[in-house]
């Protein structure tokens, strides 16, 4: 189980670095400029697909109720964080710290 989590963490970091590199290349910017944003976007996507009972679930539930006339119970909103989410959170946190250090002179001077 621990080995599987480590593999998922490594794959997550690798994918996030590739996405970050691709975004930075596409917009002709530096890697660090987009790292925090990429981290937030990936965290949001992981959260969206690992949560139950949110906006998307309610929209589907209401659509089915409208078409069929059958009442469907509303799911409680629930989020089960995974190692991928925690890895994305760590990446985002490290990216924020490095971004603050990198642009410290810009903001203070």
User: What are 19-38's pLDDT values in tens digits?
Assistant: 999 999 999 999 999 999 99
Mean residue pLDDT of the chain comes to 86
Q: What is the pTM of this model?
A: 0.76
- Give percent above pLDDT 90 in the chain: 54
Q: What is the pLDDT of residue 75?
A: 66
Q: Name the band, by pLDDT with cuts 50, 70 and 90, for residue 106.
A: confident
Tell me: pLDDT of 11 over 80.
Answer: yes
**Per-residue DSSP letter, 27:** T
3-state secondary structure of 48: helix
Tell me: pLDDT of 95 over 90.
Answer: yes
The tens digit of pLDDT for each residue in 62-85 reads 677 777 776 767 667 677 788 999
**3 or 42: whose pLDDT is higher?**
42
Separation between Cα atoms, residue 32 and residue 37, nearest integer Å: 10
Which of 44, 39, 47, 43 has the alpha carbon at shortest distance from 23? 39
């Amino acid at each position: 189980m621990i080995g599987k989590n480590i593999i998922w963490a490594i794959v997550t970091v690798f994918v996030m670095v590739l996405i970050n590199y691709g975004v930075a290349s596409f917009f002709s910017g530096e890697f660090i400029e987009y790292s925090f944003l990429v981290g937030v976007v990936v965290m949001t996507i992981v959260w969206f697909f690992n949560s139950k009972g949110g906006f998307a679930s309610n929209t589907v539930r209401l659509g089915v109720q409208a078409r069929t006339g059958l009442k469907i119970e509303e799911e409680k909103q629930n989020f089960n964080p995974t190692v991928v989410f925690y890895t994305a959170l760590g990446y985002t946190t490290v990216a924020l710290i490095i971004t603050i250090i990198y642009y410290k002179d810009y903001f203070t001077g």
